[in-house]
Amino acid sequence: MAAAVFCGAVMVDAAETLRFEGRPGSKVKIDGTSTVHDWTVESQLLSGFMEFDAGFAKDPAAAAKSAKAEVTIMVRSLKSGKSGMDKVMQEAMKMPQHPKIEYKLLQLTPKSGGAEGTSAQFDATGALTVAGVTRTNTMPVTIEKVGETKAKVSGATNLKMTDFGIKPPSPAFLPIKTGDDVKIAFQWQTEQVAAAAAKTAETK
Amino acid sequence: MKTKRKKRQEAEFNRRDFLKGGSLATMMAMLGGVELRAQVPEAKPEEQEPGALVKCGVIGLGARGREIVSTLTRLKEAEISAVCDKYPPFLKRGGNLAPKAKAVGDYRPILDDKEIKAVVIATPTHQHKEIVKDAFQAGKHVYCEAPLAHTIEDARAIAQAARAANRQVFQAGLQMRSDPQRHFLLPFIRAGALGNIAMARAQWHKKQSWRAAAPTPEREREMNWRLRNSSSTGIMGEIGIHQLDMCGLFLNTRPVSVTGFGSLIHWNDGRDVPDTVQTIVEYPGGVRLIYHATLVNSFDSDYEMYYGSDAAVMLRENKAWMFKEVDSPLLGWEVYARKDTFYKETGIALVANATKLAAQGEKPVEEAPFTNTPLYYALEAFITNVNEISTAVEDFSASFNINDKPALEKYLADIRLQPHATWMDGYGATVVAIKANEAVVKGQKITFQKEWFELG
């Protein structure tokens, strides 16, 4: 069962919420194409949280509906290794007005897995906001328990720049044109926090 | 605009010309100085969008400090907010170079100004330590001139402070570490293009007294700190440090020992530092650098030479040449490269930088592509790195717990920075220079101890 992944992490009473927060060691990678060569940008900064009902362990199908997750990526932290290209990308993503890429989970549907010690698969539907434009996206994600208190969420999805109002950049002075299609893949490291810590974090 | 046809004709002509003289060209390439030069970047720096403006303070406005001020004024991403010198005439002269900057006699107000993110320290060497430590304490990014200090203890304290300040940039003023020409040559030499490197030689010749005139005896004493062994690291420390550092970088190793000689030949004005020095710096494997520097004669200025079984390389300002041995393997590209004449070592000027350009039928570049000073590139790297590190810290702080020190350090270690002399580079070079000066002053051979390079 999908929910077994979340069993026994931290002792909680049934009414409480399990909260996980983003931790260093995460990674998001965006792969794209161009008329000259393929390109990749990466960031290690995936912040945010996910929350589940404690009852998730018993009845995942019912409780998955209450699952919440929000993830933020600072656009500025996405690096290609070439400062010129970073600037082109930041401009295309309208960074000054929209410094963050934001994701908000709308629905989590358990698919398979989740027996003790293994990973669980879900379909995640969420609202993805890039460059100020929000689109609904559904992608398969895997949640894997790491140690006693940590969970790793990984997934990948294909997007089109133009869906988010981004014109595929074609940098000045160079005969390069980027392709519209990009692939985003991520590994999000999270750690369970106590309810009290979660409260503090929210009031920040 | 040339027509395509004409271009093609020219390309044909060049190719035919080359084929005709092929064997001669090859022979000349073997004899002559082949100019080694870095490729011009595709997008020129001025075409790139500037990043955030970094407000800077410059502390110490002697000749070096003023050179730093005028260089910073040319950098798009730098703004000089304050300049500082406790000697009013220097403060005035430095202030004139940056009219918008506030001019202060004490560096404290600069450190207290929250708007100022970075400071460049160009005070006399023996005053660096306190200022660097105070600047880190105040949260500033620090560029500190080389040598870092006049004693190993002070240099170590500076390096330790830099290591501890993990959210701040520290750059040692070894500007040649940021020079693109040298970064172009580094893999070339490290890859063994010279064959077995037998030896190296470097020199710095300049007729100048180093003595500055001052209105009062006290001020005279303060200004001429370089002329006293108690506060100066001599020619080896103030000048030789750069060339010794480059030699260690190219040979990719630290020296084993240094033997020094020094004399006061010409400037007998009461100083106790030599005006002429020779040192022999030994590296592992019996490779030695012979270094000489003098304030007495300026003939042949300054340059570095590396001698290998296949070729010698000369580095001079922002240029370099290779002199090949007749029995060395043909690299190919050198046939097309421009040649210059050095007395009996003659080369032939074919087409400058022609490897790719001739084939494309385009006009070759005549002038050296990197015409800025190493100091310009060093300060440019510093300002860029300050932007990179401070935005990375901000972004990390917005995403995770900023007090998670190991995670932050790991994150910052992955940030790509412009080539620069780190606190480790600065410390190592300072230790070598201080000991080289000691060898000169004592007329001794000094064997380097591993622990001198350790920070503890």
The model's pLDDT over A29-58, given as tens digits with 9 standing for 90+, comes to: 999 999 888 999 999 999 999 998 876 666
* Whether A43 contacts A27, CB under 8 Å: yes
Our measurement of the distance from residue B47's CA atom to the centroid of its chain's CA atoms, rounded to an integer in Å, reads 25
* Whether B426 contacts B146, CB under 8 Å: yes
**pLDDT per position as a tens digit, B63-93:** 999 999 999 999 999 999 999 999 999 999 9
Could you tell me if B414 lies within 8 Å of chain A, comparing CB atoms? Answer: yes
Phi, psi of B295 (to 5 degrees): -100, 10
Cβ-Cβ contacts under 8 Å, A172 against chain B: 47
Of B407, B376, B370, B377, nearest in space to B392 by CA = B407
Cβ–Cβ below 8 Å for B391 and A76 = yes
CB pairs under 8 A between A and B: 49
More confident residue, A200 or A140: A140
Facing residue for B416 by CB, picked from A45, A76, A81 = A81
Q: Note the pLDDT of residue B367.
A: 46
Among chain B residues, CA nearest to A73: B399
Q: Note the pLDDT of residue A61.
A: 63
What's the pTM value of the predicted model, to 2 decimals?
0.85
Facing residue for A44 by CB, picked from B384, B411, B416 = B411
Show pLDDT as tens, one digit a residue, over chain B (456 residues): 444 544 444 444 444 444 344 444 444 444 556 667 665 554 444 444 456 899 999 999 999 999 999 999 999 999 999 999 999 999 999 999 999 999 999 999 999 999 999 999 999 999 999 999 999 999 999 999 999 999 999 999 999 999 999 999 999 999 999 998 888 888 888 989 899 999 999 999 999 999 999 999 999 999 999 999 999 999 999 999 999 999 999 999 999 999 999 999 999 999 999 999 999 999 999 999 999 999 999 999 999 999 999 989 888 887 788 888 889 888 776 776 777 787 777 433 322 233 444 444 444 444 445 678 999 999 999 999 999 999 999 999 999 999 999 999 999 999 999 999 999 999 999 999 999 999 999 999 999 999 999 998
Distance CA B325, CA A66 (A): 77
User: Where, residue-wise, is CATH 3.40.50.720 in chain B?
Assistant: 48-177+373-425+438-453
What residue spans define the domains of chain A?
2-203
Could you tell me if B397 lies within 8 Å of chain A, comparing CB atoms? Answer: no
Q: Note the pLDDT of residue B2.
A: 44
User: Where, residue-wise, is CATH 3.30.360.10 in chain B?
Assistant: 30-41+179-360
Cβ–Cβ below 8 Å for A24 and B410 = yes
**pLDDT per position as a tens digit, A57-91:** 666 666 677 889 999 999 999 999 887 888 889 99
Facing residue for B399 by CB, picked from A45, A81, A91 = A45
Helix axes B4-20, B22-31, angle to 10 degrees: 70
Whether pLDDT at A108 is above 50: yes
Distance CA B21, CA B348 (A): 11
B409 Cβ neighbours under 8 A, 6+ residues apart: B166
Q: Note the pLDDT of residue A95.
A: 94
Q: Note the pLDDT of residue B163.
A: 96
Cβ-Cβ contacts under 8 Å, A47 against chain B: 398-400
Whether pLDDT at A7 is above 70: no
**pLDDT per position as a tens digit, B294-312:** 999 999 999 999 999 998 9
Cβ–Cβ below 8 Å for B400 and A23 = yes
Q: What is the mean pLDDT of residues A126-131?
A: 96
Distance CA A69, CA A71 (A): 7
Q: Tell me if ipTM is over 0.90.
A: no
Distance CA B135, CA B121 (A): 10
Q: Does domain B48-177+373-425+438-453 have CATH number 3.40.50.150?
A: no
- One CATH from 3.60.150.10, 3.40.50.2300, 3.90.226.10, 2.40.128.110 for A2-203: 2.40.128.110
The CATH number of the structural domain formed by B30-41+179-360 is: 3.30.360.10
Could you tell me if B396 lies within 8 Å of chain A, comparing CB atoms? Answer: yes
**pLDDT per position as a tens digit, B412-435:** 999 999 999 999 999 999 999 999
Per DSSP bridges, beta strands B339-340 and B33-35 are: antiparallel
